Structure 1
Amino acid sequence: MKVLVIGAHGKIGQILTKKLHDSNDFEEVAGLRTAEQRNAYEEAGVQTVAIDLEKEQTDLEKAMQGVDAVVFTAGSGGKTGPEKTMMIDLDGAVKSMKAAKNAGVKRFVIVSAINANKRDFWSYGRHELGATGNFYYAAKHYADLYLEHSDLDYTILRPTLLLDDEGTGKVTITDDLEKVDSPKMKIPRADVAATVMAVLNNQATIRRSFDLDGGDTPIKEAIDNQTTIEK
């Protein structure tokens, strides 16, 4: 399976791209914004393509030619203002979905954020990050909602607090983390990347949305357990 990673230079994207590159099941394409980034990745033997989420949708469609799946793990980052958040995390995500449809790429996995599907968590100024958090969560919420109403074979992953710790290979994955006893509310980025690969390999995760947390169950087993539950 040839997988385009949009946001390949982000923290999750870097880990995911390397895992895909080292895997026997996947062929990676790193979507990168600058020529310097592309040169560095190509020197390491990684396939790359130019991706700028603030440019034309047709550019994205060209970048998606020949791929089997798209993983959207891009984000504007914590140091940018709300305008950039809306243009990358929302508009960039939706443009990528539209581009995937036009390019004939059905499989689409997006890395969202825990509670992005719950307006009461972030709307009306309730989030601890204030207005900044509201913009971030609004962007994630409506990008996910657009994806859910698309014709794409999507999977939405909503991870808890992201850590740079070494991956454990074990997670909690559920349709609603509030149903789970003693949630950790934190997860290594490496385990998020590994979960992305696992859902790509599992057709039962298509058109499903999951909360993702640190846990004690091996990733494949956790997904298999969850996907036996009736939607």
Structure 2
Amino acid sequence: MDVLIAGSHGGVGQHVTELLAESEQTAHAMVRTESQVDEMEEKFGVDVVVADLAEDVTHAVEGCDAVIFAAGSSGEDVEGVDRDGAIRLIDAAEQEGAERFVMLSSINADRPEESPEALQPYLEAKLAADEHLQDSDLIYTIVRPGALTDEPATGEIEVARRVERGEITRADVARILVAALDIENTYGKTFETIEGDESIEDALETV
């Protein structure tokens, strides 16, 4: 399977890229600028494609079977990246014949009013992208993690349509995104996740 990783240079995206580079899948790391190409090629040994989510991204999806969206604006341009950029990539994936799309979203995306006011525009942007994906013809999985940390992966999580607020490592989120590609039980599902006591594979098989 040829998999495009949007946001491959980011915190979660680099973990995703490393996992896919070590797997039987063919990874295509999408970066925003030419200056990141050599770094990603040398670090992970994967194909790298330059595409900006603020512009046309159709060429990035050409020949890909699946997309993992792990990009984010870090709050700097939630409408341009987290909403419109994601929507632009969803549309391009449909147009180019990709079948699978795994979206990194956020806990509380579907109820932003329950979060601090400063976070609400970001969550509203994520919700708009999630809903656009749900309305598409792509086989989607939407993963909504709790607060992200840089601790080492534990390999153990809790997954449900709703979970209590909590934390989860970026490394574990990456493992979830990659594992979900092939676990049919996640197809067409949206779920929240935090650290827990069940293996990632078992949790995804029963979500």
TM norm. shorter chain > 0.5: yes
Mapped contact 2:6–2:13 kept (Cα < 8 A): yes
Which residue of the other structure, out of 124, 128, 133, is the alignment partner of 2:119?
133
Q: What does residue range 178-197 of structure 1 map to in structure 2 within 5 Å?
A: 183=164, 185-197=166-178
Q: C-alpha displacement at 1:11, in angstroms?
A: 0.2
Show structure 2 runs of 5+ residues with no match: none
How far apart are the structure 2 equivalents of 1:113 and 1:43? 31
2:109 is matched with 116
- Runs of 4+ with deviation above 3 angstroms: none
Show structure 1 runs of 5+ residues with no match: 122-126, 178-182, 227-231
How far apart are the structure 2 equivalents of 1:119 and 1:53? 24
The amino acid that maps onto 1:135 is: P
Q: C-alpha displacement at 1:106, in angstroms?
A: 1.5
RMSD (Å), alpha carbons: 1.2
Percent pairwise identity:
38
Mapped contact 2:185–2:206 kept (Cα < 8 A): no
SS at match of 1:77: coil
The amino acid that maps onto 1:140 is: K
Q: Say yes or no: does 1:50 pair with 2:50.
A: yes
Which residue of the other structure, out of 205, 209, 223, is the alignment partner of 2:204?
223
Which residue of the other structure, out of 179, 185, 198, is the alignment partner of 2:179?
198
Q: What does residue range 164-183 of structure 1 map to in structure 2 within 5 Å?
A: 164-177=150-163, 183=164
How far apart are the structure 2 equivalents of 1:43 and 1:223? 32
SS at match of 2:98: coil
**TM value normalised by structure 1:** 0.86
Q: C-alpha displacement at 1:119, in angstroms?
A: 4.3
How far apart are the structure 1 equivalents of 2:139 and 2:123? 23
Q: C-alpha displacement at 1:120, in angstroms?
A: 3.6
How far apart are the structure 2 equivalents of 1:94 and 1:17? 22
2:68 is matched with 71
SS at match of 2:54: coil
The amino acid that maps onto 2:61 is: M
Q: What does residue range 147-166 of structure 1 map to in structure 2 within 5 Å?
A: 147-166=133-152
Mapped contact 1:54–1:88 kept (Cα < 8 A): yes
Q: C-alpha displacement at 1:204, in angstroms?
A: 2.1
